[in-house]
A and B are shown apart, each in its own frame.
Chain A
């Protein structure tokens, strides 16, 4: 199975900051990489699919990049509603679909 590793596991930032979360796959997954946001008590929400495509309705301050084994999620100008946990997930070799362990973004 393909292993997905996110870094950091947690991150503190302030409103207005730019933050980057990294996801690494244990083997090449081309651009079959998706990013989700999850707030406490809520279901995950798709932000980015195919490494860099923005899901409809998601603010343009979110962006994704990368291919092969290394990927990044960037949030420009953090807003209060962006503090949440973020997960990456590969959909290249399936099943199984595998997720990263999550990155918790907290307010500094």
Chain B
């Protein structure tokens, strides 16, 4: 059974930092592109970042470029999102997501909540 379990969310002040983790199991993690998707309170879905299977290719939404860094440890089957210089608009639930061969988001974690507020 595919499982994605996020952790690391919490409350932080503007300008602060958080590191999200996503523990993957039930599939060959090292073969999969992985993504982070955010959902603000009561709002829609926003794609944040992606990383290829070996970590050599990363992409970011313009709103987080230069502040967030996606990475992975294939030996530990774990995906990360380092979030620096946090802003209020970064607030939301962050989902770790796997994509299928058609580049659709086929498995989602339960999400971890990030709140940026003074």
Interface residues of A (CB under 8 A from B): 32, 34, 36, 42-46, 49-50, 53, 55, 87, 89, 91, 94-102
Contacts and interface: CB of A to CB of B under 8 A. Distances in A.
Contacts of B103: 32, 91, 94
20 contacts: A34-B104, A43-B110, A43-B111, A46-B100, A49-B100, A49-B102, A49-B106, A53-B102, A87-B44, A89-B45, A91-B102, A94-B59, A94-B103, A95-B61, A96-B61, A97-B105, A98-B47, A99-B45, A101-B44, A102-B44
Interface of B: 35, 44-47, 50, 59-62, 95, 100, 102-111
Contact of B105 (A89, A96, A98, A102): A89
A53 B45 CA distance: 22
B104 A50 contact: yes
Contacts of B60: 95
Contacts of B106: 46, 49, 55
Nearest to B96: A43
A95 B105 CA distance: 14
A96 B47 contact: yes
Contacts of B59: 94-96
B41 to A, nearest CB: 12
A44 B47 contact: no
A89 B104 CA distance: 9
Contacts of A96: 47, 59, 61-62
Contacts of B100: 46, 49
A36 B105 contact: yes
A45 B45 CA distance: 12
A30 to B, nearest CB: 12
Contacts of B50: 95, 97
Contacts of A34: 102, 104-105
Contacts of B105: 34, 36, 44, 46, 89, 97
A93 to B, nearest CB: 11
Contact of A49 (B104, B109, B110): B104
Contacts of A98: 47
